[in-house]
Amino acid sequence: MEQGLLHLYWGDGKGKTTAAMGLALRALGSGKRVVIVQFLKGGNSGEIPLLAQLGAEIYRGKAGQKFVFQMTPEEKAATRELQNQNLAAAMAQPADLLILDEAGSAEELDMVDVDLLKKAVLERPAECECVLTAHTPPQWMLDAADYSTEMKCHRHPYQKGIKARKGIEY
Amino acid sequence: MEQGLLHLYWGDGKGKTTAAMGLALRALGSGKRVVIVQFLKGGNSGEIPLLAQLGAEIYRGKAGQKFVFQMTPEEKAATRELQNQNLAAAMAQPADLLILDEAGSAEELDMVDVDLLKKAVLERPAECECVLTAHTPPQWMLDAADYSTEMKCHRHPYQKGIKARKGIEY
């Protein structure tokens, strides 16, 4: 049995989620079973329906459309509970590749149970490859990663006031 | 008409091609026309058949399976000509998103006509979004990019002698 490795894409540059989803596509193209959790993301990102159509199991969504800092304590608790449920459901699926998108932000914003997240990553089945994305990763992610790639933003058009565009940023 | 922007993914980290292909997937999911040139790549990367199946126009391949530094002058010339033909054919296709994967290495290894490459990137139709990947980008790419993301390798399993694996590295 091949040992599954841990990938961490982190930093402030564009491309973390896109690289993770590109890897999902590559794995699907090689007949692998892919399970994806997108923390704190709902909405209408272009790649999600295609990955689902190609056979990926995808868990996503949040309660409401607010940013975490805008939520009432009750909304925060409900959102956190939804993220935990999504993660637990994903962990129950057989996977050759498990992608936990925005795992770093979920931890940073206290929107996931950290013990459950660590269990999902560090106690996954030995053959399961795992991918995490994070803006500012906690130290345990940096320590555990077999691949650690920092995506460093040198230039981004939001610096010129250009807004996120469908099919490019989402 | 929306202005198409230029993305540059560069550096020594894993994720440049995967991010570009993830963006292709996202764009396809939003109904965009996607054209891809992979310079100096043939082989059997998992995501390519799926992207083709989803409607991307893909130009790739090289003459033989040697690295450029192993080629005879005749093989180099044939390979360069094939890359130029692929690029010219791609430029003739209508595209909302044009991806030139390994454009930096193609230029660095003198495996593409630089004037043709610059024309493809800098004189593309105004609404065409364009993505370049490069290990060490030439200055004109850094200057022209609207998005410039450096993928910096902090850790990679080849440092521990683990070889490239199907569905993960290709």
For residue B147, the chain A residue with the least C-alpha distance is: A156
Please, what is the average pLDDT of chain B?
93
Query: Is B154 among the domain residues?
Result: yes
pLDDT in tens, A114-161: 999 999 999 999 999 999 999 999 999 999 999 999 999 999 888 888
How many domains does chain A fold into? Answer: 1
Q: Which of A112, A21, A96 is nearest to B15 (CA)?
A: A21
Please, what is the average pLDDT of chain A?
93
Question: Which chain B residues have a beta carbon less than 8 Å from that of A158?
Answer: none
pLDDT in tens, B71-124: 999 999 999 999 999 999 999 999 999 999 999 999 999 999 999 999 999 999
For residues A68 and A5, the model is more confident at A5
- Residue B1 scores a pLDDT above 60: no
Query: Is B165 among the domain residues?
Result: no
Q: Do B167 and A27 touch (CB under 8 A)?
A: yes
Query: Is A157 among the domain residues?
Result: no
pLDDT in tens, A93-105: 999 999 999 999 9
Question: Which chain A residues have a beta carbon less than 8 Å from that of B163?
Answer: none
User: What is the residue whose two structure tokens read 């310079």?
Assistant: B39
Helices (H) and strands (E) in chain B, counts: 6, 6
Q: Do B156 and A167 touch (CB under 8 A)?
A: no
Report the largest interatomic distance among the alpha carbons of chain B, rounded to a whole angstrom. 50
Query: Is A131 among the domain residues?
Result: no
Please tell me the distance from the alpha carbon of residue A133 to that of residue A137, in angstroms, as a whole number.
8
Query: Is A121 among the domain residues?
Result: yes
For residues A61 and B26, the model is more confident at B26
Containing domain of residue B92, as a range? 6-160
User: What is the residue whose two structure tokens read 């198409």?
Assistant: B4
Query: Is B71 among the domain residues?
Result: yes
User: What is the ipTM metric for this complex?
Assistant: 0.87
Query: Is B166 among the domain residues?
Result: no
pLDDT level of residue A27 (50, 70, 90 thresholds):
very high
Query: Is A161 among the domain residues?
Result: no
User: How much is the average pLDDT of A32-57?
Assistant: 93
Position B68 scores a pLDDT of 87
pLDDT in tens, A51-81: 999 999 999 987 667 888 889 999 999 999 9
Report the largest interatomic distance among the alpha carbons of chain A, rounded to a whole angstrom. 50
Please tell me the distance from the alpha carbon of residue B46 to that of residue B167, in angstroms, as a whole number.
6
> Cα dihedral angle (A96, A152, B151, A156), rounded to 10 degrees?
100
- Residue A166 scores a pLDDT above 60: yes
Q: Which of A14, A22, A165 is opposite residue B25, by nearest beta carbon?
A: A22
CA atoms within 13 A of residue B119's CA, in its CB half-sphere: 11
| Domain CATH for B78 | 3.40.50.300
DSSP track, B82-141 = HHHHHHHHHHTS--SEEEEETHHHHHHTT-S-HHHHHHHHHTS-TT-EEEEEESS--HHH
